[in-house]
Amino acid sequence: MFALCHLLGFRFAPRNPNLADRRLHTFGPAATWPALEPFIAGRIDEALITTYWDDLLRLATSVRLGTVPASSMLRRLGSYPRQNGLALALREVGRIERTLFTLDWLDDPALRRQATAELNKGESRNALARAVCFHRLGRLRDRTLESQQHRACGLNLVVAAIILWNTVYMERAIQRLRTGGEDIPDDLLPYLAPLGWQHINLTGDYIWTEAPHLDNDGFRLLKGPVEAIAA
């Protein structure tokens, strides 16, 4: 993952909960870095990377162009009884990137906070998907791949609709507060996430007995602070 993300122009930034188990890899003898020597597991095989560099670039290009899914390629590379040279070279590049990331993780508190915040967003999105997919306890029991994909696409569509709804009305609520004189700094907005669903009826019946009360722009009326607490 570290290697492929690097070749595609991304940086893989996972959470590192067990730093004591992380091992570093270097281009020289471990004794060159006495303070880090207990954590160094070995040297990078530069010759192997050089030999398969063109193949690594072709692999990254195939994934970038969509010729082959990244998951399928990584699964195939890992399924050989004896790892081939391309898989070993990809592992060596991954060791370089993982070592650099681990060192940055130890040195940069801002990186640790950012990675944790982004992972929390992903976990919140998954929690929303689990709440929406309540039928059959959230499990896809379809036998064919096509049916599974259709059901998964439907779930993603509903989740995206909820996120869009929340985003639109959060923006309107912020504009209303600002118009009323509330000071809401822009630097706080990145900490908002439109992933809540407590205000959405996911399991009951929807009954429309009368036309909804919409404003001149076609949006539902926003509740005031007192109304929101009472609701």
- Per-residue pLDDT band for 226 (boundaries 50, 70, 90) equals very low
Distance, first Cα to last Cα, the chain: 46
pTM for the model: 0.62
> Is residue 74 classed exposed, middle or buried when 0-12, 13-18 and 19+ CB atoms within 10 A define those classes?
middle
Q: What angle do CA 52, 58, 61 make, to 5 degrees?
A: 145
CA atoms within 13 A on the CB side of 190: 4
pLDDT over 70, % of the chain:
91
CA distances from 131 to 69, 127, 142 (A): 28, 6, 19
Q: What does the pLDDT look like over 109-135, one tens digit per residue? A: 888 888 888 888 888 888 888 888 865
DSSP for 15-59, written as a single string: --S-GGG--EEESS-GGGSTTTGGGEEEE--HHHHHHTHHHHHHH
Domain ranges of the chain: 2-107, 117-200
Question: What is the 8-class DSSP label of residue 217?
Answer: T
Minimal CA–CA distance to 12: which of 88, 78, 100, 77? 100
Asked if residues 162 and 200 have their Cβ atoms less than 8 Å apart, the reply is: yes
Q: Report residue 99: phi and psi, to 5°.
A: -65, -45
Residue type, 142: D
Span 44-57, mean pLDDT? Answer: 92
pLDDT at 79 over 60: yes
- Per-residue pLDDT band for 82 (boundaries 50, 70, 90) equals low
95 vs 15, higher pLDDT:
95
Give the pLDDT confidence score for residue 229 in this predicted structure.
Answer: 39
What is the CB neighbour count within 10 angstroms for residue 172? 15
pLDDT over 90, % of the chain:
17
